[in-house]
Structure 1
Amino acid sequence: MGELLVITFLLLLLCLGVPVFVALCLSSMAALVAIEGWVGLEHLADIIFARLDTYAFVAIPMFALMAQILLKTNALADVYNSVNRLLGRVRSGVGFTTIGVATVFSAVSGSSVATAVTLSDTSIPQMIKHGYSKRSAYGLVAASGTLGILIPPSIALIVYGVIADVSISGLFIAALGPALLLIALFASYDRLAHRPSEQCDQEYGRKDLNQAVGSNKWRVLSVAGLPVLIIAGLYGGVFTPSEAGAIGVLLALGIATLAYKSFRLSDCHAAAKRSAETSGMVFAVIAGAAVFGHVIVLAETPQFMLQWVAEMELSALGFLCGLMFFLFILGMFLEGASITLVTTPLVLPVLDMLGIDRMWYGILLVINLEMSLISPPVGLNLMVIKGATGAEFSDVVLGALPYVLLMMVSLVILALFPGIALFLPQLMG
């Protein structure tokens, strides 16, 4: 009874447009009163504090601040222009540039929406100029922007790691193989589906490389090298994810102040304010999810799910297929963080019973959340590109559809070959 009440009330509030953390808290509080009476509300503060009192969460505001500092500079424009000059003569070079810059910027910012917004201004006009249809340009930018929640450092992976009690460093390393797989699928489709521009068949050499980076060489190398340094430090055990966030902020400040002379103290203040807003939103949702998780446990929902799966005699692969489909449907209507925080406490006992690796599932979950960013009717990246370009929403959706299918293909590949995600973490021990 309790779990039905909380889930029904939660969905109703979300459909009415109530903020996610408010909907989580109100529905959970209503269920607590129904189960335990008013005395059930006495421990709310303890429940929320116990969930937020986790050192690993320090990484969230750190990485958010690092991203906001670099967003106050011309870092993306420099990287885009340099890569575009280098690859502009290669077939589908502009498309490759979009994917490559999205990869770098996603690693730096950890934000899919920020990546999509920025690429809408820089990439889409160039792609249309080089013969891409508007739909194709919208779709590639929307899909490339989703890499932000998979490529480390990723706030989505941090949140899942804390909720599921999985090594965040391990998740970061596990995400590298699947991220490369997605990039390869996007690039292959782009090359096969689009005709080359007039310049595409010309060769390029060292001279083009020098012209590509030009006077911005150190800026481009420093921005592109920042995520590489963070990942290398995590892989080598030099620092923890929280320490990596702090180091990232210091390096971003160094790049912004030394390489970009236009960066001012007011920009630093604005970056700090924006990162605080982002972090506050994330922590508010986590607090609401903590209360929701408490209600789920109190209502013995995990035990019910274990019994149901046992009676259905589902295999691990069968359960994963059903779960991925369910998450995909949820992603059409709910925001990714909400899906992670609401579903993870429910499925963890089943994952353990079926012997499904939590780290492997985390990567599959995040790729599913990537699909939700470009799946109507709520796909955030679709909305962002529509707003930034003034495009018809149907054109953006149709342009992104092939990339949704490619992400589904990647899920199938990872389900059949989990070593793509787990090899590096196992190698690290």
Structure 2
Amino acid sequence: MDMTVLSIVLAVAMLAMLALGVWVSLTLVGIGVLGLLLSGNDQIGLLFATSSWGASTGWSLTALPMFIWMGEVLFRTKLSEDLFKGLSPWLSGLPGKLLHVNILSCGIFAAVSGSSAATAATIGRMTLPELKAQGYSDRMAIGTLAGSGTLGLLIPPSIILIVYGVAAEVSIGRLFIAGALPGLMLIVLFMGYTMIWALLNKNELPRNEHKRIGFSEKIKALRMLLPIVGLIIFVLGSIYGGLTTPTEAAALGVFGALLLAAATGSLSLQSFNESLLGAVKSSCMIGLILVGAHFLTLAMGFLGIPRGLAEWIGGMTLSSFELLLYLTALFVILGCFLDGISVVVLTVAVVLPMVQQAGIDLLWFGIYIVLVVEMAQITPPVGFNLFVIQALTGKDILYVARAALPFFLIIMAALFLIGWFPEIVTYLPQTMRGS
């Protein structure tokens, strides 16, 4: 069968399976099997066994369930609530006040959960009722949550960066550190926009918006904030300093989260079991997706699709900018229907040969792809994170999408910034010990 016809058949079959609600992992395996059958390869069982073993036994993958468990512990104990209470007094002097708690809480929680949906859901449960009770604009409360909730994909330790690192064979530790400055840049951009909005829309803020909070109250709140911030600094600092691998840092992070939860008296046998079960469920889901993606990658390698695509792109003589423009559109469209991890595992095998042929740094490309997937998660009107927030608020999905639109545009601006100034991504990894 002609390569072009085969590619179209497989693409249509994949879209049809996804539209029918078939699990992503089973879709990937099914498309791999179909491709091998159409090409006349009858060694499907052997290839699947080999690829499954290779996909599930990589040492770097052991960091994945650990980081997920660390986020689950924080989500199911008092620590996430302490994060909100600890931040609030320190942001009392900024225009927009508690709206910034949404942004910074998501930024901090993202650094210990690694999941976009978990970040939006956890912080939203705490902040949205409080913001509504105090009289803040519903639209802005939802918008700040939608935008900053995506930080769970970028700020390390990020689950999606682990998945990309394994697929692209890029150092996970370097990817984690590369995501730090872009993550901080996004937080600053979100907060800057929020302050400008607050100054222009004072009538949509509560009357006590400018009430000052004493220094003693701030110091008291700091006691609730420091444990989580300390855990983040410890986990990321140990990786940056070359003291631990990401896997070792993840294990220490879980131990630290359990220790903090026990110290605050919120770790019970029930919360421990729930956090462990939640981590197992999420890890198994991601593991199955990775197994399916690995098999599909192997099948496409036998079919010669990645090589053919790379040669086709090379023949078009596209510039790096044009290639990234096309890829951005592809990732945003896929992100409207799939979660971020699925987008990465579905596309990396096909895209990486093109990216390498264009001479684009794979480390930089990892952060680029995460930023694009962040945009896709809040792409009006069907971004994945929008549904999470709709479930929390009960608002119409179009209302949530309109609220998220300014933050979608801010992430797009951040994408252009790392394109113009790639050092935002590459500087810190270059200063790492052993880099």
1:237 aligns with 2:234: no
* Counterpart among 352, 355, 377 of residue 359 in structure 2: 355
- In 2: Cα distance, 1:159 partner to 1:6 partner: 23
Report what 2:256 is aligned to: 251
- In 1: Cα distance, 2:306 partner to 2:125 partner: 46
- In 2: Cα distance, 1:426 partner to 1:212 partner: 36
SS at match of 2:243: coil
After the TM superposition, which residues 364-383 of structure 1 pair with which residues of structure 2 at under 5 Å, given as runs? 364-383=368-387
Structure 1 stretch 266-275 or stretch 248-257: which is displaced more?
Answer: 266-275
Report what 2:400 is aligned to: 396
Report what 1:165 is aligned to: 169
Structure 1 stretch 330-339 or stretch 232-241: which is displaced more?
Answer: 330-339
Q: Any idea what the Cα deviations from partners look like across 1:19-69, whole Å, max 9, x if unmatched?
A: 100111111111111113433343211111112221000001111111111
Give the TM-score taking structure 2 as reference length.
0.93
Distance 1:132 1:206, change over 3 A: closer
How far 1:130 moved relative to its partner?
4.6
Report what 1:149 is aligned to: 153
The one-letter amino acid paired with 2:139 is R
1:344 aligns with 2:348: yes
Q: Does the CA contact (< 8 Å) of 2:95 and 2:195 recur in 1?
A: yes
* Counterpart among 73, 80, 86 of residue 82 in structure 1: 86
* Counterpart among 216, 221, 228 of residue 212 in structure 1: 221
Report what 2:95 is aligned to: 91
SS at match of 1:232: helix
SS at match of 2:39: helix
The one-letter amino acid paired with 2:226 is L
Q: Does the CA contact (< 8 Å) of 2:103 and 2:191 recur in 1?
A: yes
Distance 1:389 1:163, change over 3 A: same
In the alignment, structure 1 segments of 5+ residues that lack a partner are none
- In 2: Cα distance, 1:243 partner to 1:136 partner: 39
How far 1:255 moved relative to its partner?
0.7
Q: Does the CA contact (< 8 Å) of 2:380 and 2:402 recur in 1?
A: no
Q: Does the CA contact (< 8 Å) of 2:381 and 2:397 recur in 1?
A: no
Number of aligned residues? 424
Report what 1:228 is aligned to: 233
Structure 1 stretch 158-167 or stretch 186-195: which is displaced more?
Answer: 186-195
The one-letter amino acid paired with 1:309 is I
Structure 1 stretch 21-30 or stretch 197-206: which is displaced more?
Answer: 197-206
Structure 1 stretch 55-64 or stretch 98-107: which is displaced more?
Answer: 98-107
Distance 1:197 1:90, change over 3 A: farther
- In 1: Cα distance, 2:389 partner to 2:346 partner: 28
Q: Any idea what the Cα deviations from partners look like across 1:243-294, whole Å, max 9, x if unmatched?
A: 11111111111111122x1311232122111101100000000001011111
- In 1: Cα distance, 2:123 partner to 2:283 partner: 23
**Share of identical aligned residues, percent?**
35
The one-letter amino acid paired with 1:353 is Q
Report what 1:51 is aligned to: 55
Report what 1:120 is aligned to: 124
- In 2: Cα distance, 1:119 partner to 1:130 partner: 17
Q: Does the CA contact (< 8 Å) of 1:285 and 1:338 recur in 2?
A: yes
After the TM superposition, which residues 404-419 of structure 1 pair with which residues of structure 2 at under 5 Å, given as runs? 404-419=408-423
Report what 2:425 is aligned to: 421
- In 1: Cα distance, 2:177 partner to 2:144 partner: 25
How far 1:203 moved relative to its partner?
4.9
* Counterpart among 270, 284, 287 of residue 283 in structure 1: 287
The one-letter amino acid paired with 1:101 is S
Give the TM-score taking structure 1 as reference length.
0.95
* Counterpart among 83, 108, 118 of residue 112 in structure 2: 108
Q: Does the CA contact (< 8 Å) of 1:331 and 1:372 recur in 2?
A: yes
- In 2: Cα distance, 1:395 partner to 1:235 partner: 41
How far 1:382 moved relative to its partner?
1.1
Q: Any idea what the Cα deviations from partners look like across 1:75-103, whole Å, max 9, x if unmatched?
A: 12111112112323432111111111111
Structure 1 stretch 131-140 or stretch 159-168: which is displaced more?
Answer: 131-140
* Counterpart among 317, 329, 334 of residue 321 in structure 2: 317
SS at match of 2:136: coil
